[in-house]
């Protein structure tokens, strides 16, 4: 394929060719999509070390995408970096400079959370969020699923959608009944599923089943090459950093809140009276 010159086009190409890549190159693809800043600022050796592959694999990855070498590929990531604000990066750098005590938990946690929010900002696509919100708002029932670390995301979505009076069902899999719960999902429903590295296979299987039953699937996951994304109609990406040992839920919960708010906006537009009706109502009030 010819080398892409824009980051969004490049990210789309990586996602499309991901299933055909060898396992080592898939690892680099996940790292590149989850950490575009690292690709922009690192050497081949540093990228190889972070992605746990030999340096030659990084070159092969660039070649597989149609570039003559890593430098040409890196240029796209650097152009994206230059176009963005560095406010969060500067704050994180300041935290690192002052963090002499490796055992101090708060700086480590806040540092990780800030980086998560920055990656979410990088991956946020208002059009995708709007599409997901319309699917949820228009569904007969919104089913919500996440397990293990991500369960809090589904629990929040159940709470938030309930406040909007959206019919929402939390698939809690109590009593080992997840498969039976998923079988109740119909064509007019939507499943909102959240899963992150390392992915919960039960959630992936449930999303695939819901899709096969004709329902729309909204995935909330780390990157476009996530196995959950492959089962989804729409994917909300929050980014990923494989180097972080204790990942926070700051970005996923922020994305979930954004989805709930967007659903609220959609419902507000749907329930608002037409402009002509509103004008008539105002005139009527003035006459009284």
Q: Which residues pair with 237 in a beta bridge?
A: 221
* Per-residue confidence (pLDDT) for residue 58, from 0 to 100: 95
In this predicted structure, the answer to whether residue 86 has a pLDDT above a threshold of 50 is no
CATH of 126-271 among 3.40.50.10490, 1.10.10.10, 1.10.287.70, 1.10.240.10: 3.40.50.10490
Q: How far apart are the first and last CA of the chain?
A: 69
Q: What is the pLDDT of residue 110?
A: 84
Query: Quick one: average pLDDT of 105-115?
Result: 80
C-alpha distances in angstroms, 233 versus 151, 191, 213, 217?
A: 21, 10, 13, 5
Q: What is the pLDDT of residue 166?
A: 96
Is residue 116 scored above 80 in pLDDT?
yes
The CATH class, in words, for 7-82 is mainly alpha
Would you give the DSSP letter of residue 1?
A: -
* Distance in angstroms (rounded) separating the CA atoms of residues 255 and 113: 13
**What does pLDDT average to over the chain?**
84
- Rounded mean pLDDT, 48-53: 90
Burial 1-35 (b: 16+ CB within 10 A, else e): eebbeebeebbebbbebbeebeebbbbbbbbbbbb
Max avg pLDDT among 42-56, 78-92, 113-127, 141-155: 141-155
Q: Identify the pLDDT of residue 197.
A: 82
Give the pLDDT confidence of 199-251 residue by residue, as tens digits: 899 999 999 999 999 999 999 998 888 889 988 999 999 987 766 666 789 99
192, two tokens: 């909102």
Per domain, the residue ranges of the chain are 7-82, 126-271
What percent of the chain shows pLDDT beyond 70? Answer: 82
pLDDT at 99: 54
In the predicted structure, residue 278 carries a pLDDT above the cut 70: no
């Amino acid at each position: 394929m010819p080398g892409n010159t824009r980051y969004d086009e490049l990210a789309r190409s990586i996602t499309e060719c991901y299933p055909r890549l060898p396992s080592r190159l898939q690892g680099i693809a996940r790292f590149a999509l989850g950490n575009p800043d690292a690709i922009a600022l690192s050497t081949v050796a540093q990228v190889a070390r972070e992605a746990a592959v030999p340096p030659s694999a990084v070159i092969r990855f660039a070649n597989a995408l149609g570039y003559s070498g890593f430098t040409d590929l890196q240029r796209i990531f650097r152009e994206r970096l230059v176009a963005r604000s560095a406010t969060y990066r500067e704050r994180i750098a300041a935290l690192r400079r002052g963090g002499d005590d490796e055992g101090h938990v708060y700086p480590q946690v806040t540092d990780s959370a800030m980086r998560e929010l920055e990656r979410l900002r990088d991956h946020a696509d208002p059009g995708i969020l709007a599409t997901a919100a319309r699917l949820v708002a228009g569904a007969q029932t919104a089913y919500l699923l996440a397990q293990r670390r991500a369960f809090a995301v589904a629990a929040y979505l159940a709470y938030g959608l309930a406040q909007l009076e959206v019919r929402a069902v939390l698939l809690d899999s109590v009593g080992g009944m997840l498969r039976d719960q998923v079988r109740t999902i119909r064509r007019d429903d939507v499943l909102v599923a959240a899963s992150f590295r390392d992915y919960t296979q039960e959630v992936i299987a449930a999303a695939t089943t819901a899709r096969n039953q004709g329902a729309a699937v909204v995935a909330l996951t780390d990157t476009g090459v996530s196995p959950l994304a492959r089962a989804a109609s729409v994917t909300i990406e929050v980014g990923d950093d494989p180097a972080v040992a204790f990942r926070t839920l700051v970005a996923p919960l922020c994305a979930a809140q954004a989805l709930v708010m967007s659903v609220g906006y959609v419902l507000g537009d749907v329930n608002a009276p037409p402009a002509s009706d509103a004008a008539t109502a105002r005139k009527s009030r003035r006459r009284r």
